[in-house]
Structure 1
């Protein structure tokens, strides 16, 4: 995945061509502190959930 530019607090969700008949989205989010989260999921809701879990783990460390 390549993200050209995401400002702090910005997110991007881009639909990808279906693979094996399954839709996918590419999701990217840059935190206020500048950390970048990226994933490919079957839908935007799943991507948001993974991002929230990731952000909670970042807060602990």
Structure 2
């Protein structure tokens, strides 16, 4: 599953405030479990901390 689709699935679950297992497969983001595992892996790798720092460094005045 491409990273972009997993990210879209993660954002969908968070935005809709639904349980991971309720993510509809018809949307094409893969299973909620797959997206959750990718989110967990990215969190452990520090991806979101790095993204947060990058966004803060490029903050418009």
Structure-2-length-normalised TM-score? 0.31
Structure-1-length-normalised TM-score? 0.31
Question: By percentage of residues, which structure has more helix?
Answer: 2
Q: Which protein has the larger Cα radius of gyration, Structure 1 or Structure 2?
A: 2
Question: By percentage of residues, which structure has more strand?
Answer: 1
